Structure 1
Amino acid sequence: MPRWRDLPEELDPQVREFTGRLRTLVERSGLSVVAVADRTGYSKSSWEAYLNGRLLPPRGAVEALAEATGADVHHLGTLWELAERAWSRSGMRHDVTMEAIGVARARAAIERFDPAARGMDARKNGHSPGNEWPRVEPPDPEQPLVASAPVLPARAASAGQAPDSAEPPSPAPSPPSSPSPRGRKRVAALFAGGLVGALLLVAGAVLLLDAGGDGEKRGERPTTAPATSARQQLPEGVKCAGQDCTGQDPQAMGCGAAATTAADVTVGTAYVEVRYSETCKAAWARVARAAPGDVIQVKAPGANGGAARSQSARVGADGDAYTKMIPVDSAARATACAALGGGTRACTASGGRG
């Protein structure tokens, strides 16, 4: 029996379920991956990628595997369609995420190297670059002023001449004048004024923030209180729940990814099942291996004595179909029925698998 690697954690639940079904078929057949590759016409490396969840196999490979293992081609094809849609949705989410990361990086680079962008960001945060107080460093009255000593010309020193016969040295530069006590006081006053102004700005900002933050303590309500809708609380990719799912396509609304089969029944070659999503609180009917023109229906009694709910769909040329959704608070309340050719009608048992 082949030993499979653990499937990737980020794999979509629908794709994970489909990959597990492929593994089961290979294990039950007793075939090795090499034998599967030989019988299906797809390479060994391709099947290793398919069975380890790294790639989704094409439909031709799935049909070839069904023939090699004796599985039902139509049923396996239906599962592949669901996995293929889930795989496409995961790829779209990845593309959107990478695009958002790229935009964030570009924005950060612009703000880093563009002074205008930094100024705009500072104004958004309540600061104005033009209103910042300059930093004034006061002089240190205790630091001594050092003046350079006069230097004799090198020619006179090297010739051994007496100082009185040497060329008159260039007058030494006058040492910088020490600031007067009045000047030091003026600089210190400027520095103190700048420091006081900066402290006043900080205190004003703190008071403004404190005034806005204490609104709830004083019983004041914020001017805008965004309401949190139920849709914002749904997992990523799920677009409806409960009543909002009425008449919606389960795949388009993201409800099929984590759905389970709540009840099923087989009539002749037709396989009828109730699909239920706990996240979406909705159910729908699905049929495989039916004849074109057959009708599939999902129904549930009304809540609190209300009218019953139902959705129907007609089977196409491929023999598979599923209905739109109806809201239900539990899987046990939904029933799937199929009206087949020759007047045959079959329904799943209410409250469990048929």
Structure 2
Amino acid sequence: MTRWRPLADDLDPRVREFTEHLRRQVDRGGLSAAALAEATGYSRSSWERYLSARLLPPRYAVVALAQVTGADPRHLVTLWEVAERAWSRAEDRHDVTMEAGRVAEARAALGEFGPPPGSAPAPRRSRRALVLFAAGAVAVVLAVAGVGLLGGGGGGTGRAADARAPHPSRTARAAELPSGVKCTGATCTGEDPEGMGCGGAHARTTASAWIGGAYVETRYSEVCAAAWARISAAALGDTLTVGPAGASGPAQRTRIGRTAAAYTPMLAAPAPAAVRACATLASGLHGCATPLATP
């Protein structure tokens, strides 16, 4: 795997740099595609896509490659995080472009079909009359509703309307969440961070540590106001936990099975410092992630 195909010309420079670093590590290790797949647990076809920048590898694959080639995983992970943000923004732009294209096609298709046979365009005066009629009907409905509310006094009609109305704070919080994010704060506790849209571009690593041969991180999402623990290069029987920092309280944990990477459910947290990610290895070794230095 020493002769590489040229990367796409329109590839983001940050993704290009990261991919070139991966290629250099593979070259230095003298690994074939088959050997790389066997050593990391990721398939040969996956690595071919990763190393041609057709797909961004998961963090766990990057850590596994670093371990196999003897590279410092922290440096590769730093480059991966930069590439991931660039990759996510490119995907967002692509989605918006594709959606705009689909909308344009739909509008054009609808424009190709004229009015039903035998029908004539409505005169402008008729459309104006319909608009005025609709506006008058809305005004009447609002007036009747206002009378009902004012005349209800302390009766049940007003209370029923209040009960049906959404809670203002809940409505405001839901409106503030980015597209795809499905929870915030306490509603995130016990939920899967990826399934609820809190991971990816909405999360960052705030603490990390090597515990034996396992790499443990605290992941925090400000949008979701929640945190979770993540582990890579883990072994069967290792246990991962995220809980309150410096105090006892409810925690989320997961036990490692056959996969070398895993993460816990989320725990609501007002700030990264409020939680701590820890791991207890099957060997008995225990440790916790150390907060990263802030720039």
So what's the TM-score if we normalise by structure 1? Answer: 0.50
Q: What are the ranges of 5 or more consecutive residues in structure 1 without an aligned counterpart?
A: 10-15, 123-127, 134-197
Residue 110 of structure 1 corresponds to 110
Residue 298 of structure 1 corresponds to 242
Matched position secondary structure for 1:230:
helix
Residue 322 of structure 1 corresponds to 263
**Structure 2 CA distance for aligned equivalents of residues 315 and 25 of structure 1:** 27
Q: Deviations for 1:6-59, whole angstroms, at most 9, x for unmatched residues?
A: 9649xxxxxx7x876555566xx6x8xxx94994557xxxx9x967x9522679
Superposition CA RMSD, Å: 5.6
- Greater mean deviation of Cα atoms: 92-101 or 315-324: 92-101
Q: 1:269 to 1:116 in 2, by over 3 A?
A: same
**Structure 2 CA distance for aligned equivalents of residues 229 and 213 of structure 1:** 27
Structure 1 residue corresponding to 2:228, chosen from 259, 284, 307: 284
Contact 1:301 1:308 in 2 (8 A): no
Residue 271 of structure 1 corresponds to 215
**Structure 2 CA distance for aligned equivalents of residues 245 and 344 of structure 1:** 30
Contact 1:25 1:69 in 2 (8 A): no
**Structure 2 CA distance for aligned equivalents of residues 65 and 341 of structure 1:** 23
**Structure 1 CA distance for aligned equivalents of residues 68 and 284 of structure 2:** 35
Aligned letter for 1:319? A
The structure richer in helix per residue is 2
Q: Deviations for 1:140-162, whole angstroms, at most 9, x for unmatched residues?
A: xxxxxxxxxxxxxxxxxxxxxxx
Q: 1:64 to 1:57 in 2, by over 3 A?
A: farther
Residue 282 of structure 2 corresponds to 341
Contact 1:40 1:68 in 2 (8 A): no
Structure 2 residue corresponding to 1:253, chosen from 193, 196, 201: 196
Contact 1:274 1:286 in 2 (8 A): yes
Larger radius of gyration: 1
Residue 156 of structure 2 corresponds to none
Contact 1:263 1:348 in 2 (8 A): yes
Contact 2:63 2:232 in 1 (8 A): no
Q: 1:321 to 1:201 in 2, by over 3 A?
A: closer
Q: Deviations for 1:167-190, whole angstroms, at most 9, x for unmatched residues?
A: xxxxxxxxxxxxxxxxxxxxxxxx
Residue 308 of structure 1 corresponds to 249
Matched position secondary structure for 2:109:
helix
Contact 1:19 1:50 in 2 (8 A): no
Contact 2:242 2:252 in 1 (8 A): yes
**Structure 2 CA distance for aligned equivalents of residues 201 and 58 of structure 1:** 57
Q: What are the ranges of 5 or more consecutive residues in structure 2 without an aligned counterpart?
A: 1-8, 34-46, 148-160
**Structure 1 CA distance for aligned equivalents of residues 65 and 118 of structure 2:** 60
Contact 2:63 2:233 in 1 (8 A): no
Aligned length: 246
- How far residue 252 of structure 1 moved from its aligned partner, in angstroms, is 1.9
Q: 1:329 to 1:50 in 2, by over 3 A?
A: same
**Structure 2 CA distance for aligned equivalents of residues 215 and 36 of structure 1:** 74
Q: 1:235 to 1:248 in 2, by over 3 A?
A: same
Contact 1:298 1:312 in 2 (8 A): yes
Contact 2:50 2:57 in 1 (8 A): no
Contact 2:245 2:273 in 1 (8 A): no
Q: Deviations for 1:75-99, whole angstroms, at most 9, x for unmatched residues?
A: 979x98xx99x989x9799679747
**Structure 2 CA distance for aligned equivalents of residues 321 and 310 of structure 1:** 16
So what's the TM-score if we normalise by structure 2? Answer: 0.58
Contact 2:211 2:279 in 1 (8 A): no
Structure 2 residue corresponding to 1:238, chosen from 162, 181, 189: 181
Aligned letter for 2:266? M
Aligned letter for 1:341? A
